[in-house]
Structure 1
């Protein structure tokens, strides 16, 4: 597949880089250390089952869900590099 200045695997390299970045970001958000007994945000007790299931947990389930919904990341797709955007 001819692609101008880019090598033949440029698209695959971009996809792999996007996936690797997402994995690194997710791993960086994993809790570490000792679990807390009370939520950092609201102060509610964190159930023992949650503390055992997620070592290092610092938020109750409700606060964690709110945090996760705020941290949703859009895909890092490069629209400028696609043929469709160049034809417009």
Structure 2
């Protein structure tokens, strides 16, 4: 018998996909394994966890930090 967490997974994925579309963020699978900012290969674990990722964790952190500063 499925528990609440088993049933929540698909619902969460649908909500995430809708949010990504609403904010104009990429929803598909990135085809280039290299970071678009630094050119280093995005680690397989990150690509598995976030298949839409086009940047490595370090470059995404820099982008997030810059975006946070711009919102102030």
Bin of the TM-score, shorter chain as denominator length = 0.5 to 0.7
Aligned length, in residue pairs? 50
Deviations 1:12-59 (A, max 9, x none): xxxxxxxxxxxx69x626432222300001100000110010121100
Indicate the RMSD between aligned Cα atoms, in angstroms. Answer: 2.2
TM-score where L is the length of structure 1: 0.48
Larger helix fraction of residues: 2
Distance 1:65 1:44, change over 3 A: same
1:31 maps onto 2:22 in alignment: no
Distance 1:54 1:29, change over 3 A: farther
TM-score where L is the length of structure 2: 0.58
* Unmatched tracts of structure 2, length 5 or more: 1-18
**Where has structure 1 moved over 6 Å in runs of 4 or more?**
none
Among 34, 38, 62, the residue aligned to 2:58: 62
Measure the CA separation in 2 of the matches of 1:29 and 1:59: 17
* RCO higher in structure (CA 8 A, sep ≥6): 2
| Larger-gyration structure (1/2) | 1
* Unmatched tracts of structure 1, length 5 or more: 1-23, 75-88
